[in-house]
A and B are shown apart, each in its own frame.
Chain A
Amino acid sequence: MTDRGTPLARRSIWIAQGITIAGLLIYVLVVRLAAPALLSAGRGGSVGFGALLAIIPAALWLLLFYVQDAKEPEPLGFVLQVAIAGGIIAGAVALPMVARIPTRAWLGAGPITGLLVSILVVGSVQEFCKYLAVRFTVYDEDEFDEIPDGVTYGTAAGVGLATVLNLWLVLNSPSIAPMATALRIVVTTLAHGAFGGVLGYFLGRAKILGEQSNVLRGFLAAALLNGVVTFLLREVSRSGLAYRPWNGVILAAVIATAVTLVLFRVERTRVEAAA
């Protein structure tokens, strides 16, 4: 098998992900500063603002991708295509399915059951959507020619899915609290970008190294990570009746950073071993 992966030359992808995390935190600070003015808007303005809040993280990620694209030509159109596919499939499949989970089963049945449902239902459905978004858009394209491309496309699918989840959150909220909403959006975007990166990495290995059967491991790893983190985010974001959104942001940032570093390390080890 010819090793076509050149992860170290694609360091900018990892840097872009790191900058995205920093950018999202700046985005939260901006919302914090602008919150008083935003709160004075009426219901219509509030929904419009909420929708803008939901889209900004995805736009930020894509903008960063475009900036790094200037140095290393990459198919921005493909990335957009995957992100949009991720969003559409999420809206058609993941949202309706997850929304039908009875609340009692979801929250009131104890931690073990909650964790199981998070992994088996939420994690599997959402990661399956990302798999579909990558597999049936760019997977067969010639441009998908390096393992890190899989990370990029998987992350794009995750960001697309997260954007639809965020829009759904905003449009279904009776009122928009700018800071809480912005923090929730950041958490969702960071987390789904990271889960998508894991799945995408294995898709990249399947495409470039022919390790097709390993994609199942990637899917299971991403679903497990998704379910566990979803469960943990719910636990750490609440203290009694109080909502602690910053705890969720910190956890999501740690997870996203850890996933990026682990993928980077694993890929570097693989290339060094191959060399």
Chain B
Amino acid sequence: MTETRWKRLDMPIWVAAVVMLAVGWLVIRSVEARTVSFADPQGSLRVRYPEGWLPVPGSTAVLDVQDPLTGAAVPSRLIVTREPKAADKTLGQVSTESVLARAQRLAMYRVLSERAARIGGKDALIVEYAFVEDPHESVLAAARLPVVVRGLYAVVFADAVVYHVDLRAAATVFDTERRAFNAVLRDIQL
């Protein structure tokens, strides 16, 4: 009796729920995998970033896009900048100079770690960092509390230029975003 009821009443619902959930997660994963491609018109860099990220108004960077639906106090953001490469500077020197400059610009800037990596087939340095952002221009008063932001900053040489690739997100969602950030860095072509 109990076994019959399990087969006729319960099991179909358990199976249906599991199948629906599995298909639903596949849909979500397929959406997450959608990307937009960007090619630097004055350089060799090509980068893919998540679909739905929008350009940051007024930015002068080569590429500056953010996720308007981050679900955190500050949007997740990708910033790519380019500068001419000085012949006598090593990757480490460029990275150190950039870190010092960012420490002047960003409140409570801290380097959390630094590691060598390969980006687009070239040697690169990736710095993991944190700073405090002040979203004082937020429309909602409740969103004006200072926000801890974490990020990955990569510096890589490409022919005669240096690319700086900065991926940052509110600390509350950084671990969730890290997979997407790593995918952006992994897919860069130079």
Contacts and interface: CB of A to CB of B under 8 A. Distances in A.
Contacts of A198: none
Q: Which of A103, A107, A123, A135 has the most CB of B within 10 A?
A: A103
A108 B21 contact: no
Contacts of A73: none
Contacts of A101: 28
Contact count band on B:
20 to 34
Interface string B47-89: 0001110000000000000011111000000000000000000
A124 B16 contact: yes
B21 A125 contact: yes
B116 interface: no
B71 A103 contact: yes
A109 B12 contact: no
Contacts of B176: 102
Contact count band on A:
20 to 34
Interface string A219-237: 1100100000000000000
Contacts of A41: none
B13 A121 contact: no
B69 A108 contact: yes
B108 interface: no
B27 interface: yes
Given A104-B69, A105-B31, A113-B31, A120 B12 contact: no
Contacts of A220: 16
Interface stretch (B3-11, B92-100, B128-136, B161-169): B3-11
Contacts of A124: 16-17, 20-21, 24
Contact of B9 (A107, A174, A175, A212): A212
Q: Which of B24, B50, B70, B143 has the most CB of A within 10 A?
A: B24
Contacts of B141: 175
Interface string A98-118: 000111111111000100110
A97 B27 CA distance: 15
A175 B140 CA distance: 10
Interface in A120-157: 120-121, 123-125, 128, 131, 135
B27 A213 contact: no
B13 A219 contact: yes
Given A109-B31, A120-B21, A216 B52 contact: no
Secondary structure call for the A interface = helix
Contacts of A105: 27-28, 31-32
A169 interface: no
Contacts of A213: 8-9, 12
A30 B12 CA distance: 44
Contacts of A13: none
Contacts of A119: 20, 24
Contact of A175 (B23, B51, B69, B142): B142
3 tightest CB-CB pairs across the interface, nearest first? A120-B24, A174-B142, A121-B24
19 contacts: A102-B32, A102-B176, A103-B70, A104-B52, A108-B69, A109-B52, A116-B24, A119-B24, A120-B24, A121-B25, A125-B21, A128-B17, A131-B13, A174-B142, A212-B8, A212-B9, A213-B8, A215-B12, A219-B17
Interface of B: 5, 8-10, 12-13, 16-17, 20-21, 23-25, 27-28, 31-32, 34, 50-52, 67-71, 140-143, 176
